[in-house]
Amino acid sequence: MRPNQIEDDEEEEFRGPSKSHLKRVQNELQELGRVMTGMGDETLKKIGLPEAVYDEIIEYRRMRNFGAQRRQLQLIGKKMRDMDPAAVREAIARATGESRAAVALQHRCEALRDRFLADDEAVKNFIDEHTDIDIRRLRELVRSARREREQAKPPKSARELYRLLYAYFDEPLDLMMAEEIEIEEN
């Protein structure tokens, strides 16, 4: 046997992802950072970014020099290293309303609001199923929305009822990567 040849019974250890894979992920995170620099403050807050990333995006907007912006994008990508790119993309899509899940949630909340305004039984059934919602606030908004509709006023309470339902059903995404669990073999 030659000295440089690996024996069949020896196993190679996994050394982690390749350098080119890490660079691709880093470039993808920088590109997501570039997309987020063009978004408004309210949209960025909906995404649920860590404070450090949010601050760096705000800092990027103040810069006018191309080289400084390029370095700032690299820093944004570096601060986002522990974040899952797929989860960040989904959070961006949700915040901008481009996600199918976000659109489905909007339609669900609108339909619920309309049922609540039409029927007291729907409100009772909802409260029985979802006991952790603010019941007093829900009933108050339903009453005032019905009153506004009868008096032909602008639907301020109906909008507020929609926001309450949307906030109740909207689940925040976990943007951080799930750490791999290593199982030790004995």
| Distance, CA of 142 to CA of 99 (rounded, Å) | 28
User: What is the share, in percent, of the chain residues with pLDDT greater than 90?
Assistant: 47
Domains identified in the chain and CATH numbers = 21-96 (no CATH), 100-169 (1.10.60.30)
Q: Which of 110, 112, 108, 131 is nearest to 122 (CA)?
A: 112
Residue 173 confidence (pLDDT):
65
Contact (Cβ atoms closer than 8 angstroms) between residue 73 and residue 34: yes
pLDDT band for 6, please (50, 70, 90 cuts).
low
Overall average pLDDT of the 11-29 stretch: 83
User: pLDDT tens-digit profile of 22-65?
Assistant: 888 888 989 999 999 998 888 888 888 899 999 999 999 999 99
| Residue with the two structure tokens 């978004």 | 39
Percent of the chain with pLDDT over 70: 85
Per-residue confidence at 10, pLDDT binned at 50, 70, 90? low
Residue 3 has pLDDT above 60, yes or no: no
In whole angstroms, give the CA distance from residue 108 to residue 169: 9
More confident residue, 24 or 175: 24
Q: How confident is the model over 57-83, as a mean pLDDT?
A: 92
pLDDT at 52: 92
pLDDT (0 to 100) of residue 185: 41
